[in-house]
């Protein structure tokens, strides 16, 4: 009678529960099979392999195909042969389409408010690991937050940059750091173009696996950029990238799932390029862009402005009344109120680093009094993104006094 050990020796990667089923089937066969010509029976090992193949073909067992490894270099070469882009240095894309304002729902239970991107453009400079987005957007519904004019009153243009591990924004004459958006922009640089994703897989030492999804066979390339993001690139049997599943740190959600999908590939500048780009964050679609123009290897000049690298939010303190101060930041503000034994802080916004500067300013207002209570005015992610820091600061203070 065949044993678990014999099966595991022949098929070491098979799950224990499947091996158990095989042992039971083999035991039943041994007890019922008493025919002549026993010498014609297959060997145990041969029989097990045939059983495995038949079971997979008939769907009797479900073996995760993630256990089937591939060679990452072969997958990368196959994708670049299909889509082009072995030596691509940059891609400029422009399109139009619907989207939504991430983290700006009118009510916590609502979807993100709908907008229309009227002329979004992106520069993806893979050679210098630089990025620029010019996003003109207008509201597509009445309700919802975000720095966008009221419905029917036009668009707003925001310009965001990334280079050398630094993220910054320009809005009109204002130029300021956008540290909270750094990881998201690193993700967008490498995952909003299929060619960039393949270059990233090569650059950051991806591993490859064979998988199935919705009845189709895929090769996946998984890579991680430490402290920034991780991604799984899905390459179909024809060598085209169809989607990318990535995880990006978020001040409100922790590791946030981002899914980017590519559709309708066409010939563009020597590449096969998707004419439709869709992306969702935390399960909700944030844009669905139809390409109007794609340019390859156009010179992109993106330089980090003076004073941006390493810059921290500057908080201006203004006394409003006795025991009340207005803490003005570059993009978001707070109010500090002196109480009998503590400071009450209204708003801990944006992200950890921004909230830290708010706390430092508030804790310096009154000798021997620190922030002991934080009030969040509403649920929008930019206003509540510093609550995690507030919680850690409170725990640290309690530990110091214990």
Which burial class, exposed, middle or buried, applies to 388 when counting CB atoms under 10 A from its CB (0-12, 13-18, 19+)?
middle
Closest by alpha carbon to 380, among 115, 117, 141, 144?
A: 144
Residue 9 has what pLDDT?
A: 62
- For residue 400, name the pLDDT band (cuts at 50, 70, 90): low
Q: Locate 181 and state its tokens.
A: 């958006």
Assigned domain for 127 exists: yes
Are residues 89 and 178 located together in one domain of the fold? yes
Instruction: Say yes or no: 284 and 362 in one domain.
Output: no
- The answer to whether position 67 is within a domain reads no
Task: State which residues form the domain around 291.
Answer: 72-296
CATH of the domain at 381: 3.60.15.10
pLDDT band, residue 39 (cuts 50/70/90):
very low
Structure-token match 């507030």, residue found:
390
Contacts of 214 (CB under 8 A, 6+ apart): none
Domain boundary among 296, 329, 353: 296
What's the pLDDT at 332?
Answer: 94
Whether the per-residue pLDDT at 12 is higher than 80: the answer is no
pLDDT at 35 over 50: no
> How far is residue 20 from each of residues 6, 9, 299, measured CA to CA in Å?
12, 14, 61
Look at residue 302 and tell me if it is in a domain.
no
Q: Is residue 193 part of a domain?
A: yes
Given a cut of 80, whether residue 215 has pLDDT beyond it is yes
- Does 191 share its domain with 291? yes
Number of domains observed in the structure of the chain = 3
Tokens 């101060």 correspond to: 325
What is the β-pairing status of strands 284-296 and 271-281?
antiparallel
Q: Who's near 145: CB < 8 A, 6+ residues apart?
A: 101, 104, 105, 106, 113, 378, 380
Q: Has residue 249 got a pLDDT over 70?
A: yes
Q: What is the pLDDT of residue 402?
A: 53
Q: Is the dihedral of CA 93, 219, 71, 186 positive or negative?
A: positive
Same domain, 146 and 180: yes
**How confident is the model at residue 2, as a pLDDT?**
58
141 and 222 inside one domain: yes
Q: Does one domain contain both 173 and 269? A: yes
Tens-digit pLDDT profile for residues 163-201: 999 999 987 778 899 999 999 999 999 999 999 999 999
Residues 278, 369: one domain?
no
Contact 139, 150 (CB under 8 A): yes
Indicate if 9 and 133 belong to the same structural domain: no
95 sits in the region (left: phi over 0; alpha: psi -120 to 50; else beta) called beta
Residues paired with residue 322 on neighbouring β-strands, in sequence order: none
Note the pLDDT of residue 58.
45
State whether 165 and 94 are in the same domain. Answer: yes
CB atoms within 10 A of CB 104: 21
Q: What is the pLDDT of residue 109?
A: 85
Residue 266 and residue 376 in one domain: no
Q: What is the pLDDT of residues 216-248, one digit of tens each?
A: 999 999 999 999 999 999 999 999 999 999 999
Is the pLDDT assigned to residue 56 strictly greater than 50?
Answer: no
Q: What is the DSSP letter of 76?
A: H
User: In this prediction, what percent of the chain has a pLDDT beyond 70?
Assistant: 81
pLDDT at 119: 87
- What mean pLDDT value characterizes the chain? 86
Q: Residue 244: which of 254, 231, 225, 256 has the closest Cα?
A: 231
- C-beta neighbour count of 228 within 10 angstroms: 17
State how far Cα 193 lies from the chain centre: 14
User: Are residue 267 and residue 145 in the same domain, yes or no?
Assistant: yes
- The Cα–Cα gap between 33 and 289 comes to 63
Pair (130, 269) in one structural domain: yes
Question: Are the C-beta atoms of residues 247 and 257 closer than 8 Å to each other?
Answer: yes
Mean pLDDT of 263-275: 96
What pLDDT shows up at residue 300?
A: 87
Segment 134-158 shows an average pLDDT of: 89
Q: What is the pLDDT of residue 287?
A: 96
Can you give the pLDDT at residue 204? 98
Residue 362 to residue 336: CA distance in whole angstroms? 6
Q: What is the pLDDT of residues 297-340, one digit of tens each?
A: 998 899 999 889 988 899 999 999 999 999 999 989 999 999 99
CATH number assigned to the domain comprising residue 253: 2.50.20
Query: pLDDT (tens digit, 9 = 90+) per residue, 332-388?
Result: 999 999 999 999 999 999 999 999 999 999 999 999 999 999 999 999 999 999 999
Whether 63 shows a pLDDT value over 50: the answer reads no
Alpha carbons 241 and 159: distance in angstroms, whole number: 28
Report if residue 305 sits inside a domain. no
Q: Side-chain half-sphere of 349: how many Cα atoms within 13 Å?
A: 19
Contact assessment for residue 180 and residue 356, using Cβ atoms and an 8 Å cutoff = no
Contact 147, 156 (CB under 8 A): yes
Q: By the 8 A CB rule, do 121 and 290 touch? A: no
In DSSP notation, 143-161 reads ---SSSPPTTS--EEEEEE
């Amino acid at each position: 009678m065949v044993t678990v050990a014999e099966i595991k020796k022949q098929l070491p990667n098979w799950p224990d529960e499947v091996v158990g089923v095989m042992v039971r089937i083999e035991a039943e066969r041994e007890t019922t099979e008493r025919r002549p010509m026993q010498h014609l029976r297959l060997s145990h090992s041969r029989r097990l392999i045939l059983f495995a193949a038949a079971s997979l073909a008939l769907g009797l067992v479900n073996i995760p195909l993630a256990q089937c490894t591939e060679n990452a270099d072969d997958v990368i070469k196959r994708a670049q042969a299909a889509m082009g882009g072995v030596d691509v240095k940059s891609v400029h894309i422009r399109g139009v389409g619907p989207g939504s304002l991430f983290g700006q729902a009118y009510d916590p239970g609502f979807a993100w408010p709908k907008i229309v991107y009227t002329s979004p453009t992106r520069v993806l400079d893979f050679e210098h690991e630089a990025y620029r987005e010019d996003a003109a957007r207008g509201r597509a519904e009445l309700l919802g937050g975000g720095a966008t004019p009221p419905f029917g009153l036009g668009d707003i243009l925001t310009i965001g940059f990334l280079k050398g591990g630094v993220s910054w924004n320009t809005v009109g004459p204002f130029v300021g750091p956008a540290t909270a958006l750094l990881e998201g922009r690193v993700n967008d640089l490498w995952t909003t173009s299929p060619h960039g994703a393949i270059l990233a897989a090569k650059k950051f030492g991806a591993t490859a696996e064979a998988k199935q999804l919705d009845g189709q066979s895929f090769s996946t390339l998984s890579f991680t950029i430490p402290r920034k993001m991780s991604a799984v690139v899905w390459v179909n049997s024809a060598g085209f990238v169809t989607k990318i599943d990535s995880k990006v740190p978020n001040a409100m959600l922790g590791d946030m799932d981002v899914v980017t999908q590519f559709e309708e590939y066409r010939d563009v500048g020597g590449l096969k390029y998707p004419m439709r780009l869709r992306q969702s964050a935390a399960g909700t679609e944030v844009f669905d862009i139809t390409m109007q123009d794609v340019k390859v290897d156009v010179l992109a000049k993106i330089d980090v402005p003076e004073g941006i690298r390493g810059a921290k939010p500057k908080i201006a303190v203004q006394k409003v009344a006795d025991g009340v101060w207005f803490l003005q930041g570059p993009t978001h503000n707070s109010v500090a109120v002196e109480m009998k034994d503590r400071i009450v802080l209204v708003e801990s916004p944006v992200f950890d680093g921004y909230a830290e500067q708010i706390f430092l300013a508030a804790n310096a207002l009154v000798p021997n009094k620190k922030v002991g209570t934080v009030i969040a005015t509403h649920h929008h992610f930019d206003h509540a993104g510093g609550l995690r820091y507030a919680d850690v600061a409170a725990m640290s203070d309690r530990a110091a006094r214990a």
